[in-house]
Amino acid sequence: MPLPYEWQMRLQRWKSLFSGLFGGGERRPQLCPSCGALVGINATRCHECGTNLRFGLAAWSKGLSELFGGHAPVTTAIVILNVIAFAAELMGTFHAGGGGGLSILWGMDGETLYRLGASEGRSVFYLHQWYRLVTAMFLHGGLIHIGFNMMILMDLGPIVEEVYGSARYLFAYVLMGVVSFFFSALTGHLSVGASGAILGIVGMLIALTTKRGGAMMREMRSRLISWVVTIFLIGFVFRSLQTDNVAHLGGLAAGFVIGKIYADRLPASGPERQRAYWLGWIGGLAIAVSFAVALLNYRTVLP
């Protein structure tokens, strides 16, 4: 049975990407990923800005963006990473004898979550396991938890990514998640979930609506604020849901500040785009290193 058209196009992009990395594939004129200038078929550096078209930061950023495809590649990659992390949680939970019946909907094994990198105050501040501030935003407490968060992320994430660019969006997402779990860790309890970073996205959108005038922006801001108020009220009223309002507040505040700082447009060509690429790679490296450290510490003795 032939693959769906979307997957055929994605496989073609992957083939072109990897063949290009190793010097093969079809050769044709290209655009410089840094300044946007048209460069020749055999060019290895841009004649306008000098960017390396094969192994430079801009070239690899463009290649990774094409790998995931679509207009929101970072949002797609974040969702995939969340699903992979949830699969690891499931395997750990099943191994611990849990996950039976409907408990998969809301109950993951606490020890497994801790070993995979859940945020916990004593481990962060006294054992200096700072990686937990990053890994915790990709872990979830059950199928309902991850399903609800990913649904909202796929709805709001592409909007922010399209406004600010994928690289700056990735850096902001990681930073907002770190800030949210830093404040959560101050309370001392075990906490996981993408909702802190997602509230950060909402904060960025609220900041965006304060920069742009018009009735549509005012209406959007009003709806976002109403949604935020509802989320916090649910957390306060229904304590049994174990909603981490401290993490939500930290992420929301961080997102609003970042939204005020960021220029509400795609990075301009040249140095500004290079700085954006650096921010994106810092965010991606933080995720990779944090999960690597979490895996190295997975079988250590629990405190």
Question: 3-state DSSP: the chain helix, strand, coil percent, rounded to 5?
Answer: 65, 5, 30
Q: Are 202 and 148 in contact (CB under 8 A)?
A: no
Token duo for residue 252: 């929301």
The Cα 50–Cα 111 span in angstroms is 51
Token duo for residue 267: 């990075």
Helix 245-261 and helix 215-237: axis angle, to 10°? 160
Among candidates 174, 175, 169, 166, which has minimal Cα distance to 63?
A: 166
The Cα 254–Cα 177 span in angstroms is 9
Token duo for residue 106: 């809301």
29 Cβ neighbours under 8 A, 6+ residues apart: 38, 39, 40, 41
Catalytic machinery residues: 195, 248
The Cα 137–Cα 178 span in angstroms is 8
Buried b (16+ CB within 10 A) or exposed e, 214-225: eeeeeebbeebe
| Distance, first Cα to last Cα, the chain | 52
The Cα 28–Cα 96 span in angstroms is 54
User: Residue 69 phi/psi, 5° resolution?
Assistant: 65, 175
The Cα 81–Cα 200 span in angstroms is 19
